[in-house]
Chain A
Amino acid sequence: MLELDDLRIHFPLASGEVVKAVDGVTLKLAAGETVGLVGESGSGKSTIGKAALGLIPATSGAIRAGGEDVVGASAATLRRLRSRAQIIFQDPHASLNPRMTISRSVAEGLILNTPLRGRALRERVAELLARVGLPEQFLNRFPHELSGGQKQRACIARALALDPEVLVLDEPTSALDVSVQAQILTFLKELQAARPSMTSLFISHNLAVVRFLCQRVAVMYLGRIVEEGPVAEVFENPRHPYTRALLAAAPAPEANPRAKGPRVDYVELTGDIPSPVNTPPGCAFHTRCPVARKGICDVDRPADLDVGPRHRAACHFARDLEAA
């Protein structure tokens, strides 16, 4: 339903250097799946989300979304794609036109793509907003009159207006407080049940949120997927050293782990994420990796190794790392 094949997205800089935001990513999402894409800033996760809908041109590789070839697609094809694939961004305030009422924002897509007009259109918009938990009194309000959570609901209603087959969610709850985040996550979970054929790419830096909502997860580091597999499998039996570090660093809401002595599995990374302009040769992670070996990791780019059912890791030693 959404397929990325050896996708590369490079941005040339004025200096002649090249930012390799996405550097050879292959990922296939089956119909009805919610796949989490996690990674730190600069890992390329948002770039992939935008490219999947043709909002950023790909340098090479292929993207198929909602049955359309996105790379090199004509304006007409992209227009067709928009009714089948939608995106929700992190900042709902920036994604709503401040001069349009909420109902007008939600109606836009319907006006462009369906014959619905007048009363039928108004009813459809009211129904969409009601489903995300925004009752009728919100119809004629402007974005500035809504709270962050309410605005994000409006964005979700707008994205769902055309019954998309593919939904990209780019950090949809990162700007929200936890109690509001819980409301949105609960709604998205209900949506999965209500629309069993909708495929979602859920981009997030928050591992706990991905664990809650996704069936599969892909971990990105410097433009590459380093590990991918079923959520429970990756979280409980991570096979890439970066995934392990990321999980160890995730602040779990529990009483002071330090007071109870250092966690056995705690692998703290030293140093910073290298610049995507000068991606390290070989394995991009070798500069920070606790198990990297000279002459291997700094030379050869690791291939994807199968480490379990539908579970792959791009590490030379993925099979040697003892199970957690």
Chain B
Amino acid sequence: MTDPLLSIRGLELAFDTFDGPYHAIGGVTLDLRPGEALGLVGETGCGKSVLTRAAFGLLPSPPARIVAGSVKLAGRELVGLPERDLRSIRGAEVAMIFQDPMTYLNPVFRVGTQLVDAIRAQSKGRIRKAEAKDIALAMLEKVHLPNPERQFRAYPHELSGGMRQRVLIAMALAAKPRLLIADEPTTALDVTIQAQILRLMGELVEDMGLTMIMISHDLGVVAQVCSRVAVMYAGQIVEDAPVERIFDAPSHPYTRGLLKALPHPFKPADSLASIPGSLPDLLHPPTGCRFAPRCPHAGPACVSGPVPFADLAPGHRAACRLHLEGGVLGGTGALAETA
């Protein structure tokens, strides 16, 4: 097994508020190997965006504060690294793209100017302007932007949403980063355009060997591109598995709840299961399993203390007591009955 490219160990992050610390991330451990495409999935407020931003020092402190844990990129510890060093990692080694491509392009500069600037900045000025332009055009070609020479001279408002997202992907990948973080990259796009961008991202993962974390609230979107899915709830990873197993053998009650709440375009259903209750208040997170207050299977053991992960299959772990006590108090079988 290859060494992980990204290794997060016991990461805890809090936002200091007037009401006390808000425990946005509560102990996340995650390894990402080179070439893996991981989907980070969860509902609003589960911490999926905060986690990736915290890992690369993108959250202003205060109020954000890393309480514990470590984040290593290719063996190098990032927690506690000075901003100067983090800056040189971001862009060159870790690139990010976001939901709303318009917000991340400067409306008063031509697309080409911004690409060239970004490429030169990523290289710390080693690449000259003319060379940067060649790289930019090659990248625009690679992301299948129609008519790259013309779009190079266009202003962002002259491009459609899908084209802007292609430009940002080109910009992000120009420096050949080790890791791409795509935070809801298609959420603002129409479904036929979303399909095009997802196709492109899948291509980049397969052909360029890109390592990627794709953050999304949509399990269907993640399934198009990612080989592995981690489900987050209330600042913790509750399940982490190869994509097939997330859909075919979901093992955490929250993952199961999510899947049963999703309507399917090609499988008519008479009813949807909803998850009762709402997210816990992370100013005062529950001591045990954070999902326990809403869980149909919760028992006294669930609230008594933190729940470790149970290994269910190669690369498949779930943080649920039902599996830990498997064989004794039911385990996978007990949960399977309720599916």
Contact = CB atoms under 8 A, between A and B. Distances in A.
Interface string B177-201: 0000000000000111111101100
Contacts of A259: 227, 243-244
A254 B223 contact: yes
Nearest to A42: B190
A211 B202 CA distance: 27
B338 to A, nearest CB: 17
A181 B261 contact: yes
A179 B234 CA distance: 14
B17 interface: no
A269 B198 CA distance: 13
A250 B248 contact: no
Given A211-B263, A256-B244, A178 B43 contact: yes
Contacts of A273: 160, 190, 192
Given A147-B278, A272-B162, A253 B219 contact: yes
Contacts of A40: 190-193
B266 A235 contact: yes
A178 B269 contact: no
Interface string B218-250: 111101111100000000000000011011100
A41 B275 contact: no
A27 interface: no
A211 B263 CA distance: 8
Given A185-B263, A246-B192, A256 B223 contact: yes
A177 interface: yes
Nearest to B218: A251
B225 to A, nearest CB: 8
B259 A253 contact: yes
A276 B281 CA distance: 46
Interface in A237-259: 245-259
Contacts of B257: 179
A16 to B, nearest CB: 21
A100 interface: no
Contacts of A299: none
A258 B202 CA distance: 8
Interface residues of B, number: 49
A25 to B, nearest CB: 20
B194 A249 contact: yes
B217 A177 contact: yes
A207 B190 CA distance: 12
A189 B192 contact: no
A251 B223 contact: yes
Given A179-B274, A185-B272, A246-B191, A251 B243 contact: no
B266 A268 contact: no
Given A253-B220, A253-B247, A254-B223, A189 B265 contact: no
Nearest to A258: B202
A191 interface: no
A255 B248 contact: yes
Contacts of B244: 255-256, 259
B261 A178 contact: yes
B268 interface: yes
A147 B45 CA distance: 12
Contact of B192 (A177, A232, A249): A249
A212 B224 contact: no
B196 A179 contact: no
Task: Decide if the interface of chain B is mainly helix, strand, loop or mixed.
Answer: helix
Contacts, number: 131
Interface in A202-246: 205, 207-209, 211-212, 232, 235-236, 245-246
A185 B163 CA distance: 34
Contact of A255 (B191, B194, B246): B246
A254 B247 contact: yes
A249 B190 CA distance: 10
A257 B195 contact: no
Contacts of A269: 192, 195-196
A186 interface: yes
A224 B248 CA distance: 39
B209 to A, nearest CB: 16
B258 interface: yes
B194 to A, nearest CB: 7
A257 B227 CA distance: 11
A40 to B, nearest CB: 4
A182 interface: yes
Given A253-B220, A255-B223, A186 B271 contact: yes
Interface in B68-120: none
B265 A252 contact: yes
B124 interface: no
Contacts of B43: 177-179
A207 B265 contact: yes
Contacts of A205: 190-191
A259 B223 CA distance: 10
Contacts of A236: 266
A183 interface: yes
B334 interface: no
Closest 8 CB pairs of A and B: A251-B220, A182-B261, A249-B195, A40-B190, A182-B274, A177-B43, A208-B263, A212-B263
Given A250-B265, A254-B247, A256-B224, 5 more contacts: A182-B273, A183-B274, A186-B272, A208-B262, A251-B194
22 contacts: A179-B257, A179-B275, A182-B261, A186-B272, A208-B262, A208-B263, A211-B265, A211-B268, A235-B266, A236-B266, A251-B198, A252-B266, A255-B223, A255-B247, A256-B243, A268-B195, A268-B196, A268-B199, A269-B195, A271-B146, A272-B160, A272-B162
